Structure 1
Amino acid sequence: MSHLTGRVADMSTSADTRPLAGKVALVAGATRATGRAIAVELGAAGATVYCTGRSTAGNRSEMDRPETIEGTADLVNRAGGEGIAVRVDHLESDQVAALIGRIDAERGRLDVLVNDVWGGDHLAEWNTPVWEHSLERGLRLLRLAIDTHIITSHHAFPLLTRHPGGLVVELTDGTTEFNSTRYRVGCVYYDLAKVSVNRLAFAWSHDLRPHGGTSVAVTPGWIRSEAMLEGFGVTEDNWRDATAAHPHFAISESPAFTGRAVAALAADPGRGRWNGLSTTSGDLAKAYGFTDTDGSRPDAWRYIVEVEEKGLPADTTGYR
């Protein structure tokens, strides 16, 4: 898997570094952060990647951020794949149906579906009891986090199952095991959203198994998204400066780390062994041997349990 350990610009075009050549992927929610990175890494491995979301060059979503699906598609092209930007609101069934119809007409297949639609951070009211939390905002969060994934899967699975070996990746926050014993950020809507996405991956594993498909729930660790970096007043180049105020940020990872995790799964002919499981970017790095952009393998969830939750001083020795 050497194609997953180098920088995109350094990748060759040999068969060994393009295991997804001829494959078609849909990254639903590809505008920024993990979705963008997953699209880029799939493209670097040779895939054609449909990059969907609501933020375009001429129309921002309610997130009101500058990243666009066109920007993601351009990065996919620069990585060596083929990026195709399509504006889709994944809450609108007709729009999703039209998207899948287009993929079918243009490519006749779908090999990888990544359900990464989220966009709910601005709606969550942290550490707030349900009777004080805005009901409208909370229900909107759930629709964005769960309904989008169900609607997309409903329309995409008939095409995905046309050829054996299809892969579905559900992106969430926290593994099934981790989330089952914690109340995430004291917000019932956020908590339910992340637990539900794990459960969707488990449900899809049963639906897809008879068709030779694989469904996996994948969680990044503490991810250095565009918004996270801005909030800490740093960039990807100097992110370690943020550890002065937030020491445990030392375990954070780039979005590319999760991108490489999904690309590794997609390129593995034996990926069926992951069917129905909930796993992390760090666990997949151990299994497939890829690294983050700095050459390390951050194991954020083990660090959170063994260091941060125990109130120990920040020390990533043995965790990256």
Structure 2
Amino acid sequence: MPNSELMPIGVFARRSGLTSSALRFYADSGLLPPAEVDPVSGYRYYGADQVARATALRQLREITMPLAAVEAVLDAGAGAAARLLDEYVAKIVEDAATARQKAAVIKSVLGGNVPGVVIAMLKGPVLADAVEQVLTATAHEPGMAVLAGLHIEVSHEAITLTATDRYRLSTRTLVPARSAEQTWAGTVDGDDLRTALATVRCSALVRIEAVPHGIWLRVPEREDRHCRLLPEDFPDHRLMLASLGEISTRVTVSKDLLLRALEEHPGERVGLYVSDHGVNIRPSNDEHPSVQLPATVTGGALHIRFEMTTLYPAVSTAIGPDVMLDLRGYDGPVTIRSADRGDLTTLAMPVKVDHSS
């Protein structure tokens, strides 16, 4: 390679984001040997075509990938490299979740080994289904960890599960197998609960105990599961529920027919045109035909639009063959629940519709 195309180690370090000492280390380890070494001075020179490999090496080390794994990724083809990277990240995530769980248990023990207070006794399959349904309304957002949690409120007669991602709010009330020893409320980490669902679902009866910093799910003849409490305050959903406007239109429609229409809908947003004739589901343009669904409608005609990611989960988790939609104008929260069972309720926010035309 002509000397004009080579750059000394200091220049190459600035181009790649690696320090000169790191470049020497990677050269000695065989990961990134220089293009040329001056036999007299020992100065190392690198080629411009080595910048991409050096940059990738730096990025891989920034996610703490071991040298052997780095070498495998750098020397693999694009497809194999992507697979190796995915496998490594998945392992990191799995290890982090395990460490987080163990740390939560240790924290509970270090808190003085305070005995847990039984706050609920529930059938495992019922609890698992309820948690799974309500957790569809969670979201992971930086700086708002509480949106990924499940808020649990326990009274002597019932246990209420609530979650919200700001665009949906789902809540379900369960009747415990045994009355609680005392009232209790807290927001539990949703990912911890998801991890515990398989164990909970296979247990005839689950005893929920409240301890400092978390809850224990006690399951006979299986490994008990610990779930962390989130320190942030849960949004004041009761105030929001109490301030809901009056219902202007009520729609009862087949859950299966509505879900099928949504699944076949071509766009990311869906418009519902409600009238005496039923519910007409229209795309945002005229390139695709609309779908007319039979429905029982009371109240005025209405055009309302949703993000598909908001409406579909709310409908899919509803219990029973028919769903009821209580509409509060084109811009108010919509209550979605079973037409004959009210123990799972979801509020879904529509998107703004331009009515100027």
TM class, shorter-length? under 0.3
Higher RCO (C-alpha under 8 Å, 6+ residues apart):
1
**Higher strand content, 1 or 2:** 2
Query: What's the TM-score, normalizing by structure 2?
Result: 0.20
Q: TM-score, normalised by structure 1?
A: 0.22
Structure showing greater radius of gyration is 2
Higher helix share: 1
